[in-house]
Amino acid sequence: MSGPRVDVKVVMLGKENVGKTSLVERYVHDRFLVGPYQNTIGAAFVAKVMSVGDRTVTLGIWDTAGSERYEAMSRIYYRGAKAAIVCYDLTDSSSFERAKFWVKELRSLEEACQIYLCGTKSDLLEEDRRRRRVDFHDVQDYADNIKARLFETSSKTGQSVDELFQKVADDYVSVAAFQVMTEDKGVDLGQKANPYFYSCCHH
C-alpha cells in the first residue's frame, strides 16, 4: 500500500527543545502535549492535506531531531525539501545561533528551498516580556537578507501556527502557478534559481 502523494516536502529544523514537535502537533492535531519532555530520535513524518483556494495540497512534514548528535541525519531529511521551517526559541539566544547554522547549510546546499524562520513559545513573552532574548527587528533584518519569511508562534496557545503552515502551502501553489505560466509562454525571466522571487511575484 502506498502512502499519500506529497506535494510539498517540508522539513522542521532547529536546536533541541525549541518546540518543533509541538508545532507539528498543534498544527496537525490541534493539541499541546504537556508532560515530561521527550526528545525526537532521528525524525518523524506526518502528512497533512490542506486547501489553498479550490486546490488541495498535501504537506509532507519531516520533524527532525534537534540534538547535535543527530545532525548528520537531519541533513538527509532536508534533501529535496521545498520548504524548511527553521525554529528558534524566543527566550533562548543560543537557539537563534543554531538556526543561523541551518540557514547557512540550506542556502549553500538546498538553494531552491524556501526558508521560514519561526520564533517559538511566544506565550512565554506574553507572561513576561523580559524573557525575550531574540529581538524581532534584528531577526526581521536577517530574514530580509536571506529572503526568508518570519513568524513568531506559540504551540501552547496556537498563535500564528496555522498561518505559518498555510503560508507554506500558499507559496507552493504560487510557485507552481508561476512555473506553469512561464513554461507555457516560454518566458525566461532569468529568475528561476531564486525561489523567493517565484513566491513573491504573485503577491
Residue with the three cell numbers 525571466: 189
Question: For residues 14 and 60, which CB has a smaller minimum distance to ligand GTP in the complex?
Answer: 14
> Is there binding between residue 18 and ligand GTP (CB under 6 A)?
yes
Cell of 61: 512534514
Following DSSP, what letter does each residue of 151-185 receive, concatenated?
EE--TTT-TTHHHHHHHHHHHHHHHHHHHHHHHHH
Beta strands in 34-193 (DSSP E): 43-52, 55-64, 83-89, 114-120, 149-152
Part in contact with ligand GTP (CB under 6 A); list of ranges 35-43, 92-100, 169-177, 192-200: 35-43
Beta strands in 65-125 (DSSP E): 83-89, 114-120
Strand partners, 13: 86
> Is there binding between residue 199 and ligand GTP (CB under 6 A)?
no
Site for ligand GTP in 125-164 (CB under 6 A): 154-156
Using only C-alpha atoms, what is the Rg of the chain? 17
Question: For residues 155 and 199, which CB has a smaller minimum distance to ligand GTP in the complex?
Answer: 155
Which one of 4, 30, 31, 39 is in contact with ligand GTP (CB under 6 A)?
39
> Is there binding between residue 28 and ligand GTP (CB under 6 A)?
no
Largest CA distance in the chain: 56
Which one of 120, 168, 169, 198 is in contact with ligand GTP (CB under 6 A)?
120
Site for ligand GTP in 50-89 (CB under 6 A): 65-67
> Is there binding between residue 119 and ligand GTP (CB under 6 A)?
no
Give me the least distance between CB of 129 and ligand GTP, in Å please: 14
Cell of 7: 506535494
| Total interface residues for ligand GTP by CB under 6 A | 21
In this structure, is the dihedral angle defined by the CA atoms of residues 97, 195, 105 and 146, taken in order, positive or negative? negative
Q: Which residue is nearest to ligand GTP (CB)?
A: 66
Interface with ligand GTP (CB under 6 A): 14, 16-22, 37, 39-40, 65-67, 120-121, 123-124, 154-156
